[in-house]
Structure 1
Amino acid sequence: MLLNDVLPFLVKYWPLVLSSLVVAFFVNNKYWKGLNKYPGHWLAGYTNWWRFWDVWGRKHEWTTIRLHRQHGDIVRLGPNVLSFADPKAIKVIYGLNKGMTKSDFYPVQNAVAKGRRLESLFSTTNEDFHAKYRRCVNNAFAMSSLVHYEPLVNSTLGVFLDRTEAEFATSGKSCDFGRWLQYFAFDVIGDLTWSKRLGFVEEKRDVDGIITFIGNFLSYAGPIGQMPVLDLFLEKNPISLFAQRIGLSNFVFPVTLFAQKRSNERAGEIQKIKTYGLPEKDSSRGVDLLSKFALAAHDHPEFMTDTQILASCNSMVFAGSETTAISLSSVFYFLLKHPRVYAKLMRELDNAVADGIIESRLNRTVSWSEAQKLPYLDAVIQESFRLHPAPGLILERIVPKQGMDILGNFIPGGTIVGCNAWALHRRPEVFGVDVDTFRPERWIEARPEKQKEMKATMFQFGAGARTCIGKNVSLLEVYKLVPSFLRRFEIELEHPDREWKTHNAWFVRQTEFNTIFRPREVAP
Structure 2
Amino acid sequence: MLSLPLPVSVVGLTFLGLFVVYYVVSSIISFVRLRHIPGPALWAWTRIPLIRTHLKGDSYEKFGKLIEKYGSLVRIGPNYVMTSDPEIVRRLNASRSPYTKSNWYIASRFTPGIDNMISNRDDAYHDVLRRKAMPAYSGRENPQLERDVDETVLDLVRLIRDRYLTTDNDQPVKMELARKAQFFTTDTISLLAFKEKFNDLKDDTDHFGYIEEVEMLYPNMFCTSVLPEIMEFFTASGLLALLDPAKNPKFAFGKVMAMVKQKIDARLDTKGANKEAGDDMLGSFIKHGMTRQELDQEVIVQVLAGSDTTATAIRSTMLCMMQNPRACQKLVQEIDEAVQKGIISHKLDEVIKDSEARKLPYLQAVIKEGLRWHPPTGGLLAKQVPKEGDTIAGYFVPGGTIIGMSQYALHHSHDLFGPDPLVFRPERWLHTSQGGDEPNWDKIKKMERNNDLIFGHGKYQCLGKSIAFLELNKVFVELLRRFQFELVDPERPWETRCYGIHLQRGIWVTVKPREARMKEDSARS
State the match for 1:415 in structure 2.
401
Matches within 5 A, 1:261-272: 261-265=259-263, 267-271=265-269
Query: Structure 1, unaligned stretches of length 5 or more?
Result: 1-7, 280-286, 298-303
SS of 1:222's equivalent in the other structure is helix
Between 331-340 and 55-64, the greater mean CA deviation after superposition: 55-64
Deviation at 1:208, TM superposition (A): 0.9
SS of 2:293's equivalent in the other structure is helix
Superposed CA offset, 1:356-397 (max 9, x none): 111112325322111111110111111110010111122100
1:374 aligned onto 2:360: yes
Deviation at 1:500, TM superposition (A): 2.0
State the match for 1:294 in structure 2.
286
SS of 2:426's equivalent in the other structure is coil
Deviation at 1:15, TM superposition (A): 9.8
SS of 2:41's equivalent in the other structure is coil
Question: Structure 2: how far apart are the matches of 1:290 and 1:358?
Answer: 32
State the match for 1:397 in structure 2.
383
Deviation at 1:238, TM superposition (A): 2.6
Deviation at 1:271, TM superposition (A): 4.5
1:316 aligned onto 2:302: yes
1:384 aligned onto 2:380: no
Matches within 5 A, 1:27-106: 27-31=28-32, 33=33, 35-106=34-105
Matches within 5 A, 1:138-177: 138-142=134-138, 148-170=144-166, 172-177=172-177
State the match for 2:447 in structure 1.
454
SS of 1:106's equivalent in the other structure is helix
- Relative distance call for 1:178 and 1:9 in structure 2 (3 A) is closer
Question: Structure 2: how far apart are the matches of 1:362 and 1:57?
Answer: 44
Superposed CA offset, 1:155-188 (max 9, x none): 2121221111111015742111001111111111
Contact 2:27 2:78 in 1 (8 A): no
Contact 1:93 1:418 in 2 (8 A): no
SS of 2:286's equivalent in the other structure is helix
- Relative distance call for 1:268 and 1:449 in structure 2 (3 A) is same
In structure 2, give the amino acid aligned to 1:264: Q
Q: TM-score, normalised by structure 1?
A: 0.88
Between 96-105 and 144-153, the greater mean CA deviation after superposition: 144-153
In structure 1, give the amino acid aligned to 2:458: G
- Relative distance call for 1:274 and 1:430 in structure 2 (3 A) is farther
Deviation at 1:16, TM superposition (A): 8.9
Question: Structure 1: how far apart are the matches of 2:153 and 2:386?
Answer: 45
Deviation at 1:143, TM superposition (A): 6.4
State the match for 1:283 in structure 2.
none
State the match for 2:523 in structure 1.
none
Q: TM-score, normalised by structure 2?
A: 0.87
SS of 1:390's equivalent in the other structure is coil
Question: Structure 2: how far apart are the matches of 1:129 and 1:119?
Answer: 11
Question: Structure 1: how far apart are the matches of 2:447 and 2:350?
Answer: 32
- Relative distance call for 1:388 and 1:242 in structure 2 (3 A) is closer
Deviation at 1:263, TM superposition (A): 4.7
1:134 aligned onto 2:130: yes
State the match for 1:5 in structure 2.
none
Question: Structure 2: how far apart are the matches of 1:444 and 1:307?
Answer: 46
Deviation at 1:139, TM superposition (A): 1.2
Superposed CA offset, 1:334-375 (max 9, x none): 010111101111110001111111111232532211111111
Counterpart of 1:406 (choices 383, 388, 392) is: 392
State the match for 1:325 in structure 2.
311
Contact 1:397 1:417 in 2 (8 A): yes
Report how many aligned residue pairs link the two structures: 495
In structure 1, give the amino acid aligned to 2:182: Q
SS of 1:436's equivalent in the other structure is coil
Contact 2:383 2:403 in 1 (8 A): yes
Give the RMSD, CA atoms, in angstroms.
2.8
1:483 aligned onto 2:477: yes
Matches within 5 A, 1:4-43: 22-31=23-32, 33=33, 35-43=34-42
- Relative distance call for 1:23 and 1:308 in structure 2 (3 A) is closer
SS of 1:169's equivalent in the other structure is coil
State the match for 1:117 in structure 2.
113
Deviation at 1:75, TM superposition (A): 0.4
Contact 2:274 2:286 in 1 (8 A): no
Question: Structure 2: how far apart are the matches of 1:510 and 1:348?
Answer: 29
Contact 1:182 1:322 in 2 (8 A): yes
- Relative distance call for 1:506 and 1:16 in structure 2 (3 A) is closer
- Relative distance call for 1:174 and 1:243 in structure 2 (3 A) is closer
Matches within 5 A, 1:503-518: 503-518=497-512
Contact 1:326 1:390 in 2 (8 A): yes
SS of 2:403's equivalent in the other structure is strand
Question: Structure 2: how far apart are the matches of 1:267 and 1:489?
Answer: 42
Deviation at 1:501, TM superposition (A): 2.2
Superposed CA offset, 1:403-426 (max 9, x none): 123344332110111222211001
Query: Structure 2, unaligned stretches of length 5 or more?
Result: 1-8, 432-437, 521-525
**Same amino acid, percent of matched pairs:** 27
Superposed CA offset, 1:465-491 (max 9, x none): 111111111111111111111112111
State the match for 1:465 in structure 2.
459
- Relative distance call for 1:46 and 1:167 in structure 2 (3 A) is same
Question: Structure 1: how far apart are the matches of 2:303 and 2:191?
Answer: 12
